A and B are shown apart, each in its own frame.
Chain A
Amino acid sequence: MTFEQFAVTRLDAVLRFAAVLTSDRGLAEDVVQDVLVRTHRHWDRIGSLEHPEAYVRRMIVNEFTSWRRKWARIVPSADAALDVAEPDPTAGITDRRALLAEISKLPRRQRAVLALRYYEGLSDAEIAETLGCAETTVRGYVFRALKTLRVEFAPQSAATP
């Protein structure tokens, strides 16, 4: 697969994942762009992989959780617009935005684990491989994140949506 083919066929999915991961369109754009610049430079190697998209996704997660990103930008919180008193015909959307705002306050590695698990539908083993940590660590992140978000955890449920 060439870089151009990747851009046409896979980039939209990558961008959606970045948007989910960062909860911030501008930051998602920034992270993906930086990753693609590096990716393009080494595409001969990356393009020959069996799953280049997974590799790029891993780069995005690493970029998002890297120490320099933490200090490079303050992630805006979306909760300023959530305390609207008037009846909201789209209450479900508001609930989701409230949940997303709470997610954006979690530590970045917890956010990465949640996005990989509940958006990408990866297993704990795949998430551990992506993050370069143990499966037990992944489960710990999930447990703590869900507890913070007050989400009922069903340990027996599959990771895939």
Chain B
Amino acid sequence: MSDGRPRPRTEDDLRAAYQLAAQDAPQRATVLAGVLEHRDRRQRGFGAPIAGIVAVLAVIGVLVGIALSDSHPRRTTNGAAASPRIGDENVSLHATPSGLASAGASAGGGSANAGSTSTTIGPNVSPSPLIPPIYPSAGHTCAPSEVSVSIVWSAGGNAAYGQITALNTSTAACDLLVKPAVTPLTPSGSPIAVRMVQSQEAALGPQRLLPGATARAQVTWNGWCGIALGNTAQLSWGSGTVTAASSPPDRSQAGHCPANPELATMTSTYFSPLH
């Protein structure tokens, strides 16, 4: 595979490097929690001065009312259920827990809780959760008979990178909940022993796959080392095993073989449905 001399870099090397870099992407929940916190802070930041002005105007109104001996009560305090809005006649100052952060944290693994117990004075904004599972669980995990799966491998040094595509061929939506485990097969159909490493970071709710929709996941096989692969591979994601069409990597692109094949490992990502 290699004569010891450094191989000139190609554009495919660049693509493979980028695939590697993409695996180090930030977590969606972390980013959204930051956005949520910023929005919450911004709303509170705008709300407080406005509420102060409204409060001053209200006090002036009360004083004017008293001066005019107007016995009609101008404002009421409605308790926790009240939702004061700018421009309302009945503006009351009350403590209300912010519903924004808690709404965002509900589906994001609890990462966003900024301001969840703070006292806010000002406009009450309708909660608009950022991280909820917009697509609720389909109620069952995709069965092997419901999906058609394929893997397209690309080679890069002694690693192989697989792009897994799952197509829901059934007439019902189903869920892809866990990272797929891949068992590569030799051209004769024998399984190749590779240590599958499944990191345990949380998935963001059910990944519902609609009928006719596709989802993608990536698999990285470190220490592939040019092993010949067949045209099929086995995949499982907790509901049985499916045989996937496999497009083997270009073995001529394989680099150095590891001294210890036991070090070969495989990792995969969660499926990302493409709605």
User: Contacts A25-B25, A151-B14; is A12 near B272 (CB within 8 Å)?
Assistant: yes
If over half of B's interface residues share one DSSP class (helix, strand or loop), that class is named, otherwise mixed; here it is mixed
Q: Tell me the B1-32 residues at the A interface (CB within 8 Å).
A: 8-28, 30-32
Proximity string of chain B (185-198) to chain A, C-beta cutoff 8 Å, 1 when within and 0 when not? 00000000000000
Q: Is A59 interfacial (CB-CB < 8 Å)?
A: no
Residue of B nearest to A5 (CB): B134
Q: Which segment, of B79-87, B117-125, B173-181, B251-259, faces chain A? A: B251-259
The complex places the Cα of A151 from the Cα of B15 at a distance, in Å, of 11
Q: Do B258 and A96 have beta carbons less than 8 Å apart? A: no
Interface residues of A in 67-126 (CB under 8 A from B): 87, 89-93, 95-97, 99-100, 103, 114-115, 118-119
B93 at the interface (CB under 8 A from A): no
Instruction: Pick the residue among A5, A28, A99, A115 that contacts B25 (CB under 8 A).
Output: A28
Judge whether A91 and B21 touch: CB under 8 Å. no
Q: Are A92 and B272 in contact (CB under 8 A)?
A: no
Chain B residues lying within 8 Å of A13, measured Cβ to Cβ, are 272
**Cα A15 to Cα B204 with chains together (Å):** 15
A6-60 contacts to B (CB < 8 Å)? 7-9, 11-13, 15-20, 23, 25, 28-29, 32-33, 36-37, 40
Interface residues of B in 38-73 (CB under 8 A from A): 38-39
Q: Are A96 and B17 within 8 A (Cβ)? A: yes
Q: Tell which of A7, A25, A92, A100 touches B130, judged by Cβ atoms closer than 8 Å.
A: A7
Quick check: is B162 within 8 A (CB to CB) of the other chain? no
CB-contact partner of A96 in B10, B16, B263, under 8 A: B16
Q: Which of B128-160 contact A (CB under 8 A)?
A: 128-135, 156-159
Question: Is the beta-carbon distance between B134 and A18 smaller than 8 angstroms?
Answer: no
B258 adjacent to A100 (CB under 8 Å) = no
A150 to B132, CA, bound (A): 46
Size category of the binding interface on chain B: 35 or more
List, in ascending order, chain B residues with CB within 8 A of A36's CB: 31-32, 35
Tell me if B273 is interfacial: C-beta within 8 Å of chain A. Answer: yes
In the complex where A8-B135, A99-B9 touch, is A89 in contact with B263 (Cβ < 8 A)? yes
* A50-B31 Cα distance, complex, nearest whole Å: 24
B18 x A115 contact (CB < 8 A): yes
Is A149's beta carbon under 8 Å from chain B? yes
Residue in B8, B10, B12, B39 whose beta carbon sits within 8 Å of that of A37 in the complex = B39
Query: Closest CB-CB distance, A51 to chain B, in whole Å?
Result: 14
Q: When chains A and B are docked, how far (Å) is the Cα of A153 from the Cα of B10?
A: 7
* B27 surroundings in chain A (CB, below 8 A): 15
The answer to whether B11 touches A151 (Cβ under 8 A) is yes
A15 to B34, CA, bound (A): 14
Determine which of A9, A89, A114 lies in contact with B274 in the assembled complex, contact meaning CB atoms within 8 Å: A9
Report Cα–Cα, A161/B22, bound state, in Å: 15
Complex contacts, A20 vs chain B, CB 8 Å: 18, 21-22
Contact B20–A100 (Cβ < 8 Å): yes
The list of the 9 closest CB pairs from A to B, nearest first, reads A92-B157, A89-B258, A29-B26, A19-B25, A119-B18, A16-B22, A96-B17, A15-B25, A92-B159
Q: Give residues in B with beta carbon < 8 Å to A.
A: 8-28, 30-32, 34-35, 38-39, 128-135, 156-159, 204, 222-223, 255-256, 258-260, 263, 272-275
Chosen A-B contacts, 24 in total, with CB atoms closer than 8 Å, are A4-B128, A5-B275, A9-B275, A11-B32, A12-B272, A13-B272, A15-B27, A15-B28, A17-B22, A19-B21, A20-B18, A29-B31, A29-B34, A32-B26, A33-B34, A33-B35, A89-B158, A90-B158, A90-B258, A92-B159, A96-B16, A100-B21, A119-B18, A161-B12
Known: A15-B27, A25-B24, A96-B20. 14 other contacts (CB 8 A): A4-B132, A15-B31, A17-B22, A19-B26, A20-B22, A28-B26, A33-B35, A36-B31, A89-B158, A89-B222, A92-B156, A93-B157, A97-B17, A151-B13
